[in-house]
Amino acid sequence: MNSSLPDIVTSIMEINKEFLESLTGPGAERMPTGPGLNRREWIGPGAADKLEAWQNLIAACRQEQLNFWSRLVPESLRRDPDILESFSHMADNRFADHEWQENPVLQLLKQAYLLASENLLATVDALFLPPDEKRKLKFYTKSLLDALAPTNFFMSNPEAVKRALETRGESLIRGLENLANDLKLGRLSQTDETAFTLGENLAATPGVVIYENEILQLIQYRPTTASVFARPLLIIPPFINKFYILDLQPHNSFVKYCLDQGYQVFLISWVNPGRQQSKLGWDDYVEKGVLAALAVVDNVGGGQKTNIVAWCIGGTLLATALAVLAARKKIKQIASVTFLTTMLDFSEPGDLSVFMDEAGLEKQEKRAGKTGFIPGQDLFYSFSLIRANELIWAYVSRSYLQGIDPPTFDILYWNSDPTNQPPKLYSFFTRNLFQANKLIEPGALTVCGVPVDLGKIKTPSYFLATIDDHIISWKTTFTAGRFLSGPRTFVLGGGGHVAGVINPPGQQKKHYWVREGEESGPERWLESARKLPGSWWPHWSRWLKRRAGKKIAAPERSGSDQYRIIEDAPGAYVRKRIDFSGSLKGVDVINKNRGRE
């Protein structure tokens, strides 16, 4: 290439100028019209003012772009070491390598990309579209911009180039091998999956399965203390994931922590549905799931009141089950409930709404009519897209461009082990809760033949939210407790949707916020809350111990005369794994051997 850097920059300036002028200049006036294409109809009432405001924004974006390029050329000619200093406010973790700050060409590329991204997203924000449509457009625009980041391409990734030179090309060969392996696997590898085996170094806390039906297996864990609290503790994980996120390795197992605190722990292991479970709906997961598990715990626990912990959509399911118990006058059997990052009010569903509109649901239902289930791969990809830079492109850069094998990480192993969903269950949740937000309106929703009224739930509750949750905004969890009538405790943890919950004591730099009483809104609550160092687990355990009953000798046997031991934990249901390359391992066949392979 014989062109000098100033010539290249000048050419890029002209291209940018022509593109931006096409949005606001004479060429824009020649845009086709007709149904759905007339710009004034497109942006709705007050079209003239809105169009002018939109054009002003584009003009501002154009001016900012031109300012960027015009200032860049003379600075490049002078080889100023402080080149682009005026744009340094646009920081991004993807550009952490020092070359992005020290190399003028890479600086140019980085700042041009960040500036164009910022302006394009601002343009989308300025469009006069219905909120749902704007959210979709902004989400997919950002997804495209994430995919086009210069860090995702070898020649513009300084770490990849440097590693290729250092390894004399071996990293490129290893990257191609990683890519070939992932193509066979059917998805991008996030961790070394050969490093983990359920029942050995994951989900290995000693326990037994004492009950199972077509929806769940119920695990009772063996006590680790000589005495235990009389009231049992039932844990309800989300049915869209495997339960062992709560029982990873001994040092970060929530289940083991609870056992070591003296609680009698029971846990639901949801089935990974196949065609045989295609008719199961929300009512089934309440009646044959939560309520059936509670009946077993009540029997084994000798009729003591039960404390319950539920996470994410498991908490949403629990809330409807509690409303059913309240309508049946049986809710006094519940001593307390803990909701971990749970959404009850779906008025602000976040980016998940992009994937759960009516058009998307109808496509899923049509496909499920042939397969008998909603594929777990779909939810896996959706959650990954919401955090694409962390869960997709970071691994593209390291695994494929740099030839670095994925790290050994238990949470990412779990993340790569999704479950299918029965279409009837998925449709009920999407239409009635996610789209119509009926759960918070008394009587608008009927579950198990009774109207749901969260206000009749007077059970003491503990709500945990996490400040960086990308799935459920912590402010949404904050307001969720107000729909219940009982005494409430709200705690805000550090971290995200998963890492903020799996936050065992002893980790440095961890913290959480607490406050006595409630303010009118989440912002005021946070302003006056106390930030405490460490994990929220001990805080929760102190709260629970006041509701756990007296201490008794730990039971010597598991189960009861009515509920006998079926098999050792973690059980057969959790072992049924989706094969991303096209088949299901052990999902469609549940025979006398419960689908073991």
Q: What is the pLDDT of residue 436?
A: 94
Q: 70: Cβ–Cβ under 8 A, 6 or more apart, which residues?
A: 13
What would the two tokens of residue 388 be? 């694409």
Tens of pLDDT along 226-249? 999 999 999 999 999 999 999 999
Tens of pLDDT along 367-426? 888 889 999 888 888 888 888 998 899 999 999 999 999 999 999 999 999 999 999 999
* Residue 507: Cβ-neighbour burial (10 angstroms; 0-12, 13-18, 19+): exposed
What would the two tokens of residue 147 be? 């995919």
Residues of the chain with pLDDT under 70: 1-91, 518-519, 582-597
CA distance 503 to 253: 9
* For residue 538, cis peptide bond before it (omega within 30 degrees of 0): no
What DSSP state is assigned to residue 270?
A: E
CA distance 340 to 502: 11
* Residue 287: Cβ-neighbour burial (10 angstroms; 0-12, 13-18, 19+): middle
Q: What is the pLDDT of residue 509?
A: 81
Q: What is the pLDDT of residue 50?
A: 54
Q: What is the pLDDT of residue 564?
A: 96
pTM greater than 0.75:
yes
Catalytic machinery residues:
312
Q: What is the pLDDT of residue 251?
A: 95
Q: What is the pLDDT of residue 290?
A: 98
CA distance 310 to 319: 9
Q: What is the pLDDT of residue 495?
A: 93
Q: What is the pLDDT of residue 521?
A: 87
Q: What is the pLDDT of residue 93?
A: 85
* 511, containing H or E segment: strand 511-514
Which domains, ranges and CATH numbers included, belong to the chain? 5-128 (no CATH), 207-349+383-406+433-518+535-585 (3.40.50.1820)
C-alpha distances (whole Å) from 513 to each of 405, 472, 539, 542, 560 are 37, 17, 11, 15, 41
What would the two tokens of residue 144 be? 């495209």
- What is the β-pairing status of strands 446-447 and 334-340? unpaired
CA distance 361 to 353: 11
